[in-house]
Amino acid sequence: MAHRQDQQRRASIHDVASRAGVSAATVSKVMAGVITVKPENAQRVLEAVEQLGYRVDPLASDMRRAKRRIIGAIMPEFESEFFGQMVTQLEGLAEQRGYTLVAASSRESEAREKEILARMHDWRVAGVVLAPVRNEHGPAAEFMKANGMTGVLIDRVLSDDAFDTVSADSAAASAEVARELIAKGHRHILVVGLGEQAATVRARLDGFRTAALKLAPDVRIDVVLAETGVEPLRAQLREYFAKGERPTAVYSLFLKGTLVALSEFRRRGWHCPNDISLVGFDDAEWMQVTWPAIAAVVQPVRQIAGHAMEALFARIEGGEGPAIARLEPCRVLMRESVGSPGVAAGGGQSR
């Protein structure tokens, strides 16, 4: 059993050194795993460490180094499954390399995003994984550039010339959604999104439109894009339907949009898929247990996190070269919320 100096001041490297009868420098070497220490001494150090319950103070240790072994992660929010999983993944990957992840939420505010980045710079983090609120051209990326910070951009980005980027292959996934909807016979489709998320929304919209028009030149694609915020989107959507528009399917480009669409369907008494079909970008656990289950594009969180960290550490360890942009393939899960127009679904809905 290790005896600890409970409640007391924690043992420092000097305590260990004197107990082991060596210098602090030697203890430091043993802790760092340097092999040039006489086995006998190493043994005594290890014993002292055990007896005193000594542990290296990571912050003090980092003081002397150039970069601290801390990775900063900035997400637009923590409340959704996607970003929750992302943080969990990033945390694990950082840990594996002996780094600590410090995560912060920009709460969908670019101003706050920049403040957090400044704080992370103060902390002299080794690198940052930034999921920007809008896109790769925000003030945060600017700040990172201006201050020579090393970082990787993820999610709401396409590519950048200063930083590596990793995101879901929005265009390809959207094209697949288009194929599915067209194949089911949909010829009037509404796409909803948030203009704020510029590049990503563009990619998703273009990917969808291009594929859809190619397969069915006569398809009508309406677009409701709110510039900013979920509530304005709700209002615009309500207005759109109030005009009497009656698409047979809705493709939502982001999770909150899917929720808004569902709640607008509720208001009007429409059921999926009989009255209207629905597919959303971003999957969530609940989508497979509701009736009907909601079709969704599943983003490969693990791959995004993995490749982001890979790229980040490559840069931290001095990797040079032009910024690379990765697109990770998504899976499209066509569930019960999608049907064919004019064909009542069997099973679930009607009783």
Closer residue to DNA, CB minimum distance, 26 or 106: 26
| Neighbouring-strand partners of residue 191 | 223, 251
Choices 13-21, 80-88, 209-217, 309-317; region in contact with a second copy by CB under 8 A: 80-88
105 CB-near residues (< 8 Å, 6+ apart) = 74, 75, 76, 77, 78
CB atoms within 10 A of CB 8: 7
173 CB-near residues (< 8 Å, 6+ apart) = 204, 207, 281, 297, 329, 330, 332
| Neighbouring-strand partners of residue 68 | 125
Q: Which of 67, 246, 266, 268 binds a second copy (CB under 8 A)?
A: 266
Confirm or reject binding of residue 246 to DNA (CB under 7 A): no
196: Cα separation from own chain's centroid: 17
Residues numbered 138 to 167 that lie near a second copy (CB under 8 A) are 146-148
Which tokens hold the place of 207? 């990917």
- Sheet with 331-333, side-by-side order of all strands: 220-226, 188-194, 249-252, 277-281, 295-298, 331-333
Cα–Cα dist 109/111, whole Å? 5
C-beta separation of 22 from 44 below 8 A: yes
From first CA to last CA, the distance across the chain in angstroms is 66
* Residue 119, binding choice from DNA, a second copy, none, Cβ under 5 to 8 Å by partner class: a second copy
Closer residue to a second copy, CB minimum distance, 172 or 250: 250
Choices 29-37, 134-142, 219-227, 269-277; region in contact with DNA by CB under 7 A: 29-37
Element (H, E) at 136: none
CB of 49 to DNA, least distance (A): 10
Cα–Cα dist 71/102, whole Å? 6
Residues numbered 267 to 286 that lie near a second copy (CB under 8 A) are 269, 271, 274, 284-286
User: Going residue by residue from 38 to 57, which x/- string records binding to DNA, judged by CB under 7 A?
Assistant: x-xxx-----------xxxx
Cα–Cα dist 312/75, whole Å? 16
Phi, psi angle pair for 311, to nearest 5°: -60, -40
Choices 24-32, 85-93, 126-134, 324-332; region in contact with DNA by CB under 7 A: 24-32
Choices 13-21, 139-147, 174-182, 294-302; region in contact with DNA by CB under 7 A: 13-21
* Residue 14, binding choice from a second copy, DNA, none, Cβ under 5 to 8 Å by partner class: DNA
Residues numbered 65 to 94 that lie near DNA (CB under 7 A) are 65
Q: Which of 5, 18, 23, 109 binds DNA (CB under 7 A)?
A: 23
* Residue 32, binding choice from a second copy, DNA, none, Cβ under 5 to 8 Å by partner class: DNA
CB of 61 to a second copy, least distance (A): 10
Provide the sign of the torsion angle of the four alpha carbons 27, 31, 32, 35, taken in this order: positive
User: Going residue by residue from 31 to 60, which x/- string records binding to a second copy, judged by CB under 8 A?
Assistant: ------------------------xxxxxx
Residue ranges that bind a second copy, judged by CB under 8 A = 4, 6-7, 10, 55-60, 62-63, 68, 77-81, 83-85, 87-88, 91, 100-105, 107, 118-119, 121-124, 146-148, 259, 262-263, 266, 269, 271, 274, 284-291, 347-351
Residue ranges that bind DNA, judged by CB under 7 A = 9-10, 12-14, 21-29, 31-32, 36-38, 40-42, 54-57, 60-61, 63-65
